[in-house]
Structure 1
Amino acid sequence: MWPAIAILAFVTLQRLAELALARSNTARLLAAGAREFAPGHYPLIVGVHASWLTALWWLAPGRPIHWPLLALFALLQLGRIWVIRTLGPRWTTRIIVLPGAPLVTGGPFRFVSHPNYLVVIGEIAVLPLVFGLWQVAAVFTLLNAAVLFVRIRAENAALAGPASAR
C-alpha cells in the first residue's frame, strides 16, 4: 500500500506546487499587461484533473505496481519539467498571452506546438495503468481529450493574434 501512497503523494504535491507557480506567473504576466483568453473552460480542466487524482487516491492504494509503467511516468515528469523550464515565467495553467512577446520556439516547442498537452495525455493514461486501473485510464483519457479539444482551439486562436482570439 505504501508505494502507491508515496507515488500519489508525490503527484499531488507536484500538482499543488505547480498551481502555486502558475498563480504567481499568471499574476506577474497580468501585471505586465498580458491578457487571459477563454477562461470559461478552465474549471473543466481543474475538474478533470482533480477527479482523476481523486479516483487514483480512492482506487490505487493496495494495488500492485507495474514498475516499467512507473518508469515511463517518471520520463513523462522529465518532459513536464522541460516544458516548465522552457516557458519559464510564461508557464501557467491558463491561456495568458503577453502582447508583443514572441512565441516560444525552443526546448520541446522545436518539435511540437503543445508539448505540455502531450505530457498530460501520457500522464492521465499511464499513471492509472501503473496500478492496473485501465478503466480509470480510459475514462479520464476521454474526458481529457474533450477538454483539450476546447483548450487547444482556444489557445491556438489566442496565440494567432487578437482578431482570431475573440
Structure 2
Amino acid sequence: MSSLSPEVLFTLLIAAVGVERLAELVVSKRNAAWAVERGGVETGAGHYPFMVVLHTGFLVGALVEVWVRRPDVPALLAWSMLVLAVLSQALRWWCIRTLGPRWNTRVIVVPGLPLVEGGPYRYFRHPNYVAVVLEGIALPLVGGAWITALAFTVLNAGLLRVRISTEERALDSAPLEAPATGSRG
C-alpha cells in the first residue's frame, strides 16, 4: 500500500497529464508552422482562447475539487476510470500519429492534401474528440471529482459544437479538385 495520500497520488496523475499537454503544445506549434509554410489557412481562431482556458481549468478544477472535497473514491471506480483515462490518451496519440504533421490544436487547412482516412479516422470522423470526451469524464473521476467532470462535459459539449462545425466548414471550403485536411478532431 502506498504511503502517499489519494490526493497526492491524484496530483501526480494530473501533473503527468499536464506534462503530456505541454508535449502536445510543442508538437502542435511545430505542426502549425509546417501547415502555414504550405499555405495552410487558420479558421475559427476566435474560439481557441476559450478552449485553452477550458482545458487548463479542467486540470486545475479537478485538483482543487479533490483537495477541497477529499472524496472517498471506491477503488473500482478509481481504477476503472484510470484505465479509461489511459485509453483516451492512447486514442489521442493514435490520432496525432496518424495525422502526422497535419495535427495541431488549431483549425488549419492545407489546400491540396487528401483527407486522412486511416488509423482511427477510418472508424470515427473526429476520433480525437472522442478521446477528449472520455478523458473529460474519466480523469476527474479517478479522484472522485464529479463536479469537475460534469462541468467540463457540459462546457466542452458547447465548445465541440463550435469546433466541429468550424472544422467541417473549413474542410468543405477547400478546393473541390484537391481534397484537404487540417486539424481534425
The code of the aligned residue for 2:129 comes to Y
Q: Does 1:36 align with 2:48?
A: no
Q: 1:106-131 deviations in whole A, cap 9, x for unaligned?
A: 00000111000110011111111111
The code of the aligned residue for 1:121 comes to V
Q: Does 1:133 align with 2:145?
A: yes
**Bigger-Rg structure (1/2):** 2
CA contact (8 A) 2:84 2:135 kept: no
Distance of 1:135 and 1:55 partners within structure 2: 9
- Which of 144, 149, 154 is residue 161 of structure 2 equivalent to? 149
CA contact (8 A) 2:121 2:127 kept: yes
Normalised TM-score (structure 1): 0.93
Normalised TM-score (structure 2): 0.84
Any unmatched runs of 5+ in structure 1? Answer: none
Distance of 1:12 and 1:21 partners within structure 2: 14
Any unmatched runs of 5+ in structure 2? Answer: 1-6, 176-185
Q: Does 1:4 align with 2:16?
A: no
- Name the SS of the counterpart of 2:98 in structure 1: helix
Identity of aligned residues (%): 44
Report the equivalent of 1:159: 171
- Which of 124, 129, 133 is residue 121 of structure 1 equivalent to? 133
Which runs of 4 or more aligned residues in structure 1 lie more than 6 Å from their structure 2 counterparts after TM superposition? Answer: none
Q: Over aligned residue pairs, what C-alpha RMSD do you find?
A: 1.4
Distance of 1:35 and 1:132 partners within structure 2: 41
Report the equivalent of 1:107: 119
